[in-house]
Amino acid sequence: MQIKIINKSTHALPDYETIASAGLDLRANITESITLKSLERTLVKTGLFIELPIGTEAQVRPRSGLAAKKGITVLNAPGTVDADYRGEIGVILVNLSNQDFTIENGERIAQLVIAKHERAQWVEVKELSETSRGEGGFGSTGVK
């Protein structure tokens, strides 16, 4: 799938790290380092603008290494970039660790996954079909 992109950053276009990678790495495009204290959040710009085909979205997801090693994650994961959005892609990062974390220009801060999606059409009914789970909610299918 081809996607139009404008790159106003000082970095190369996002790329897949391996042939089997699902996500493209997004890099911080900042003029000064940003230090996130414990439980602080910030919007980090990427300098990237995209035009997605209708029926697709771009999902902004955390990088597992940053999450596991530093406690840094994407606050609204996954963040959705809709096909009609033309603004700059930004990443809302949050520091869930108890130590400061400094974001440098060019640092890989998140990954972008391109995904197809469906549009639902509601069909109003008076009742839904029965299942073995029924109305069981959170944790109802797990170990007790």
Q: What are phi and psi of 84, to 5 degrees?
A: -95, 5
Q: Is residue 129 part of a domain?
A: no
pLDDT at 137: 73
Residue 122 domain-assigned? no
**Which structural domain, as residue segments, surrounds residue 86?**
4-116
Report pLDDT for 105. 98
Q: Consecutive 10-residue runs of the chain (144 residues): their mean pLDDT?
A: 97 95 97 98 98 98 96 96 98 98 98 96 95 76 62
Q: For residue 27, what is the domain's CATH number?
A: 2.70.40.10
φ/ψ of residue 69, rounded to 5: -90, -30
> Is the residue at 141 inside a domain?
no
How many domains are contained in the chain?
Answer: 1
One-character DSSP codes across 37-94:
PTT-EEEEE--EEEEPPTTEEEEEE--HHHHHHH-EEETTSSEEE-TT--S--EEEEE
Total-model pTM: 0.88
For residue 37, the model assigns a pLDDT of 98
For residue 79, which of 90, 94, 95 has the smallest C-alpha distance? Answer: 90
What pLDDT sits at residue 140?
65
Q: What tokens does 7 get?
A: 């790159």
Within a domain: 47: yes
